[in-house]
A and B are shown apart, each in its own frame.
Chain A
Amino acid sequence: AQSVTQLDSHVSVSEGTPVLLRCNYSSSYSPSLFWYVQHPNKGLQLLLKYTSAATLVKGINGFEAEFKKSETSFHLTKPSAHMSDAAEYFCVVSDTGRRALTFGSGTRLQVQP
């Protein structure tokens, strides 16, 4: 079985400060891990994905995430938040045994001016 835990339901940062969105996963197989962003009433946009290559993954819009197997974590970071980053972020896992994606509960990122 696979599962994802997003440790914070809400994160608020000031514009220009770093962003950290935390995610822990559980998977019976070698997982693929993803971060998606969703703006209000919109679909999902892929930020980045890890598929057993480099453990530090760089994505779009300055986001990156590091896969840490020993900690079963895949935290999302960005050095400097922008107002346009305000959205809902989902950490997602897929393993080779189950093709569908399992979503975390989401983290709402607020960016204060």
Chain B
Amino acid sequence: GAVVSQHPSRVICKSGTSVKIECRSLDFQATTMFWYRQFPKQSLMLMATSNEGSKATYEQGVEKDKFLINHASLTLSTLTVTSAHPEDSSFYICSARDFPGTLNYGYTFGSGTRLTVV
């Protein structure tokens, strides 16, 4: 089935530094990718939607200058947390969506990235 590879699975960084998280669709082309954030013991909250070759659409309350999203190809989307602070510590998960009508059409999730800012 469809596979989305997300890296790194865990990262610890110092306050003020930037961290890049990658999300790759391995066996299908993802026209749309979604980035979610999950705080401990809470549900997933959509941060932004990215479409290949265009700017991401951010949800209300999400700082686009802090959470930079790039979707340069049909198989790769990246989320960069810039000038990270401890309150950015969270579990980040990407999700990719395939073309309508294809066998894999649906939503496939990456395995998540645990970000800890110290």
A residues apposed to B, CB below 8 Å:
34, 36, 41-46, 49, 90, 94, 99-106
Contacts and interface: CB of A to CB of B under 8 A. Distances in A.
Contacts of A90: 43-44
Contacts of A46: 106-109
Interface of B is mostly: strand
18 contacts: A36-B109, A41-B114, A42-B111, A43-B109, A44-B44, A44-B109, A46-B107, A99-B32, A99-B49, A100-B34, A100-B49, A101-B34, A101-B95, A103-B44, A103-B45, A104-B43, A105-B42, A106-B43
The 4 A-B pairs of least Cβ separation, nearest first, read A43-B111, A44-B109, A43-B112, A103-B43
Interface in B17-70: 32, 34, 36, 42-46, 49
B44 A42 contact: no
Contacts, number: 45
Interface size range of chain B in the complex:
20 to 34
B46 A100 contact: yes
Nearest to B108: A46
Contacts of B71: none
Contacts of B95: 101
